[in-house]
Amino acid sequence: MSGNEGLPSGGAMRALAAVGDEPLRADGLVLRRPVAGDAPLIFRGTRDPLVREFLQAVIPHLDVAAAERWLAEVPPLLWAEGRAAYFTVDLDEEPVGWAELVNLDAVDESAEVAVWLLPEHRRMRTATGALRLVCRFGFERLGLRRIDAFAAADNMPSQVMGAAIGFRRAGYRPALFRSSRTQRLHDAVHATLVPDDLC
């Protein structure tokens, strides 16, 4: 795939609300907008110890109904406002994980990416496939010029996953974010990806 494939003419970043949201597919995975039926996935994910340890501001939902209400309200609002793009990751037509582009910056034409998978689906192939799809959305649909990833320094699988699709280490950030589970401050490894490096 060419690094410039699908970029907006003139190189300007598209407004999120103006882009198509058709699913992206590759290697048996589908990246799509979340729906109410994904509530069990969100309920489990926000209560998973590793998700809560290594991602900031993850609030566990009280029950599946609360997760369904969140899905109905928050992702569509943030998409419409151009603040965040949230996606469900399907494997063999089953929701297995979550991917997001946040901190969308029209000036820098950049965003920050995060991906998590349910424990039984945490395999390198699935993880890299999901990360690759959400980065493709950022580059092909939004016209981003850079995607940032921040992995806890002690979360080596996330760092390896990023490197496998072309992320390059860009720095080290002491005490960058606080665990949602323990409130412990994590040092973070900052990595960046540009369109031509996505593999």
Structure confidence at residue 57 (pLDDT) = 86
Structure confidence at residue 182 (pLDDT) = 86
Structure confidence at residue 34 (pLDDT) = 98
Spatial distance between the Cα atoms of 91 and 1, rounded to a whole number of angstroms: 22
167: Cα within 13 Å, side-chain hemisphere? 26
Contact 131, 162 (CB under 8 A): yes
Find all residues with CB under 8 Å of 39, minimum gap 6, and list them.
Answer: 64, 65, 67, 68, 71
Find all residues with CB under 8 Å of 101, minimum gap 6, and list them.
Answer: 84, 85, 111, 112, 113, 134, 137, 138, 142, 144, 147
Question: Domain-by-domain residue ranges, the chain?
Answer: 22-197
Contact 131, 115 (CB under 8 A): yes
Structure confidence at residue 56 (pLDDT) = 86
Architecture of domain 22-197: 3-Layer(aba) Sandwich (3.40)
Give pLDDT tens digits along the chain (199 positions). Answer: 333 444 444 468 999 999 989 999 999 999 999 999 999 999 999 999 999 999 988 999 999 999 999 999 999 999 999 999 999 999 999 999 999 999 999 999 999 999 999 999 999 999 999 999 999 999 999 999 999 999 999 999 999 999 999 999 999 999 988 888 888 899 999 999 999 999 9
Structure confidence at residue 11 (pLDDT) = 64
- β-sheet bridge partners, residue 97: 89, 117
